[in-house]
Amino acid sequence: MRQRYDVVVVGAGASGMMAAITAARNGAYVLVLEHMDRAGKKILATGNGKCNYTNEKQGLSYYRGENPAFVLPVLKQFGFKETIAFFEELGIYPKERNGYYYPASEQAASVLKVLLMELKRLRVEIRYEVGIRSIQREKNGFCFETKTGNFYGTTCILATGGYSAKKTGSDGSGFLYAKKLGHHLINPVPALVQLVAKEPCLKEWTGIRIEANLKIYAKKELLSEDTGEVQLTDYGISGIPTFQVSRFAAKALERGEKVTAFLDFLPRQSKEEVFLLLKQRFFSYGTGKTMQEALIGLFPEKLISVLLKKCALKEEFPAKRVSEKELHLLCKQIKQFTLMIEKTKSFDMAQVTAGGIRTDELKNETLESTLIPGLYFAGEMVDIDGMCGGYNLQWAWSSGYVAGCAAAKKQIINGTVYK
Ligand SMILES: Cc1cc2nc3c(=O)[nH]c(=O)nc-3n(C[C@H](O)[C@H](O)[C@H](O)COP(=O)(O)OP(=O)(O)OC[C@H]3O[C@@H](n4cnc5c(N)ncnc54)[C@H](O)[C@@H]3O)c2cc1C
């Protein structure tokens, strides 16, 4: 007699664990198949080890994909409030910082531990290092052929993540099962990732962190912008504003478009205000100072050198002898420093994958496949990615919950689906 589970979840990451817990709480007999030797490796890396597990600001504008509105019915069933309540019940006392939520322990390990405790309490079986060879659709469900034998499930939830941070287990293999089962992908690209630029000054500005506005353009169209602390590095740019715009740059680069980044190093002042400020610093207060000295206190010294060099101005030249034309040039570099973006850093450096299973092949109330009854998807493998700030984990919890609930309620008997 072959052993059969009601729900088989593939992948013990954030979304898979949430799906398994929810299915088990709804009375299902649940098995989780994980190819790593442990669950939730990526959770440990989140929020610099502190796990920013949700955000109180929610809405369409925080989620991206071919059809971002796909998230709405999912978040409606399990959103911010439900997430806080769910984790509080498991033991995670919330700590809020500017709307971002972390466990009070400030340890991502706490989030993983409480999920594992709950899975144990619910007697959910987890098989590690499984090595799935194939997932086949059968009359009454699915057969999972693995290195160590076959497993059978009435329903299947694929929660294998995308390609980002491969060392945590998400190597894209789940996409292959989905494709073999007939699903299609929006081509995955790295997101929440650093941008690599072509620019001679990169070595000189390495290590600078500065508040700036970052705009990304392709085909003369503004794709995305963000303001915050940008990190200037030897390959290009990093930091939260870079992460926020990166998926748009990645998509445009994938389309073969030229991508340009504009940095505004004084985003609170208009161009006219900056010009007046420069005039004051160079002409009124510049007596006895060099060009470089006239800018000290306004920018980090490494950036002053880069800006002056860009305008072909000599650092040691007397400030008072600068022309208005040269000041206009300097003003332009300050307000609109241009970088040609060559590529993004790789998936290994990316926090998330943009792209994945097409949402028009899924029912948005249940996350069930419209092609194969009893097959569900959750988490990052779906073509939804969130902004930096707890939105990707929120999507993992929300989609895991919805898929887990729906899968538990579904039965397939002799090919007929009973809801
Ligand atoms: C460094 C870093 C920091 C981050 N910080 C945050 C943050 O603070 N807040 C936030 O909201 N988001 C953050 N994210 C993003 C967030 O962690 C992910 O979006 C989320 O964990 C995705 O969950 P998931 O379950 O879909 O996929 P994953 O967490 O990737 O889990 C997938 C699981 O499936 C398993 N698996 C894959 N293929 C197979 C297979 N063939 N067979 C069996 N098992 C398989 C994997 O081993 C893994 O355990 C961060 C990501 C990174 C990399």
Band of residue 412 on the pLDDT scale cut at 50, 70, 90: low
Candidate from 76-80, 144-148, 345-349 with smallest mean pLDDT: 144-148
Mean pLDDT of the chain: 96
Segment 277-290 mean pLDDT: 92
- Which one, of 364, 350, 360, lies nearest residue 395 by Cα? 364
pLDDT of residue 120: 98
Band of residue 411 on the pLDDT scale cut at 50, 70, 90: confident
pLDDT of residue 132: 97
CA gap 361, 369 in Å, rounded: 6
* Atom 45 of ligand 1: nearest residue by CA position: 11
The token pair that represents 314 in the structure block: 């000599």
Strand partners, 33: 10, 127
pLDDT of residue 418: 60
Segment 47-71 mean pLDDT: 97
Segment 61-76 mean pLDDT: 98
pLDDT tens for each residue of 198-239: 987 788 999 999 999 999 999 999 999 999 999 999 999 999
CA gap 142, 180 in Å, rounded: 13
For the CA of 162, the closest atom of ligand 1 is 30
pLDDT of residue 108: 98
Segment 288-295 mean pLDDT: 95
Whole-prediction pTM: 0.95
For the CA of 55, the closest atom of ligand 1 is 11
Whether 60 and 69 have beta carbons less than 8 Å apart is answered as yes
Strand partners, 200: none
* Atom 19 of ligand 1: nearest residue by CA position: 392
CA gap 194, 320 in Å, rounded: 39
Burial class from Cβ neighbours inside 10 Å (0-12, 13-18, 19+) for residue 140 reads middle
All structural domains of the chain with their residue ranges:
4-190+352-414, 194-344
314 contacts: CB under 8 Å, gap ≥ 6: 291, 308
* Atom 26 of ligand 1: nearest residue by CA position: 379
For the CA of 42, the closest atom of ligand 1 is 29
- Which one, of 253, 227, 238, lies nearest residue 194 by Cα? 238
What percent of the chain has pLDDT above 70? 98
Question: Phi and psi for 98 in degrees, rounded to 5?
Answer: 50, 40
The token pair that represents 2 in the structure block: 């072959």
CA gap 112, 120 in Å, rounded: 12
pLDDT of residue 416: 63
pLDDT of residue 229: 98
**Rounded CA Rg of the chain:** 25
pLDDT of residue 3: 80
The token pair that represents 168 in the structure block: 């945590």
Whether 217 and 223 have beta carbons less than 8 Å apart is answered as yes
Residue type, 43: I
Strand partners, 18: none
Strand partners, 416: 413
Which residues does a 6 A CB cutoff place in the pocket of ligand 1?
A: 10-16, 33-36, 42, 45-47, 51-52, 130, 132, 159-161, 164-165, 168-171, 173-174, 351-352, 379-380, 390-393, 396
Candidate from 2-6, 20-24, 270-274, 357-361 with smallest mean pLDDT: 2-6
Segment 313-334 mean pLDDT: 95
CA gap 138, 132 in Å, rounded: 16
- Ligand 1 centroid to Cα of residue 170, in Å, is 7
pLDDT of residue 200: 79
pLDDT of residue 346: 98
Band of residue 251 on the pLDDT scale cut at 50, 70, 90: very high
Question: Phi and psi for 39 in degrees, rounded to 5?
Answer: -95, 155
Q: Is 140 helix (H, G, I), strand (E, B) or coil?
A: coil
Pick one of 3.40.50.1220, 1.10.8.50, 3.10.20.30, 1.10.300.10 as the CATH number of 194-344: 1.10.8.50
pLDDT of residue 287: 87
pLDDT tens for each residue of 88-125: 999 999 999 999 999 999 999 999 999 999 999 999 99
Strand partners, 9: 32, 157
Q: Is the CATH number of domain 4-190+352-414 3.50.50.60?
A: yes
The token pair that represents 94 in the structure block: 């919330």
pLDDT of residue 232: 97
What percent of the chain has pLDDT above 90? 94
Does residue 414 register a pLDDT over 80? no
Residue type, 239: G
Whether 44 and 34 have beta carbons less than 8 Å apart is answered as no
Question: Phi and psi for 126 in degrees, rounded to 5?
Answer: -120, 125
- DSSP H or E run through 275: helix 271-279
- Ligand 1 centroid to Cα of residue 14, in Å, is 6
CA gap 363, 245 in Å, rounded: 29
Candidate from 64-73, 171-180, 317-326, 406-415 with smallest mean pLDDT: 406-415
Band of residue 417 on the pLDDT scale cut at 50, 70, 90: low
pLDDT of residue 1: 59
**What separation in angstroms does the CA of 147 have from each of 2, 127, 130, 178?**
17, 12, 7, 19
